[in-house]
Amino acid sequence: MKLYAERLPTAIRQLLTDIVVVVWVYLWIRAGLWVHDMVQKLAVPGQKLQSAGGGIADNLADAGSKVNRVPLVGDQLVKPFNGAADAARAIADAGRQQQHVVDQMSVLLAILAVSVPLALVVFLWLPFRLRWMRRAGLASAVRAEPAGRDLLALRALAGRPLNELTRLGPDIAQSWRNGDAEAVDALAALELKRLGLTASGRRR
């Protein structure tokens, strides 16, 4: 399997495209992390509610325990303190729940921000790149063999535009049928050129 073409213009184009894709993925990952961090800032009010509610609840519970020590009326006096402490704990729980919701939203929005660009890479660019690597690898493996060059020539006849084929000669198809070595080599070179490969396997 070949990573890059042997023809310099094609190889440069592939390398630049790969770099652009890598930078594209990196930037979108950074964008996803930025979205996550920005949404996480919404959890600050919840943190303050949790801290304030918990602190008030602790203070009220402490005061209630002291009031409860008052003889005769301690049981009656402690009820308002316990009720207020429960209300403060409810506020702290609400702050904790708000933080949990924000945490989930931050992760979800970050994934959504990254998923579409990554899907474009995985489902569009990557299959195209892997298909070229597979085809170029097979072509480079068979180009030195007579039967392989014949297959490459057949591929060129079946897939290349007519204007490209006629440049090789008006009777190029007939020459290929007759087993003309020059015609086979010319057609094979045409198919190899389409893949960014050279007939000799040397870079140029």
Return d(Cα 168, Cα 186) in angstroms, integer: 7
Amino acid symbol at 27:
L
pLDDT given for residue 134 in this prediction: 92
The model's pLDDT over 1-44, given as tens digits with 9 standing for 90+, comes to 788 988 988 999 999 999 999 999 999 999 999 999 998 888 88
Buried-exposed string 10-20: b where 16+ CB fall within 10 A, e elsewhere: bbeebeeeeee
Q: Which of 17-21, 50-54, 115-119, 157-161 has the highest mean pLDDT?
A: 17-21
pLDDT given for residue 22 in this prediction: 94
| Average confidence (pLDDT) over 139-164 | 85
Task: Copy the structure tokens of residue 164.
Answer: 């490209």
pLDDT given for residue 75 in this prediction: 61
* 70: Cβ contacts below 8 Å, ≥ 6 apart: 77
Tell whether the model's pLDDT for residue 61 goes beyond 80.
no
Classify 204 as helix, strand or coil: coil
Closest CA to 164 of 193, 144, 131: 193
Count other C-beta atoms under 10 Å from residue 27's C-beta.
Answer: 11
Tell whether the model's pLDDT for residue 99 goes beyond 90.
no
User: CA Rg, the chain, in Å?
Assistant: 36
Closest CA to 94 of 58, 63, 52: 52
Which range among 17-26, 85-94, 129-138, 143-152 shows the weakest confidence by mean pLDDT?
85-94
pLDDT given for residue 35 in this prediction: 92
Closest CA to 185 of 125, 142, 143, 137: 143
DSSP secondary structure of 63-120? HHHHHTTSTTTHHHHHHHHHHHHHHHHHHHHHHHHHHHHHHHHHHHHHHHHHHHHHHH
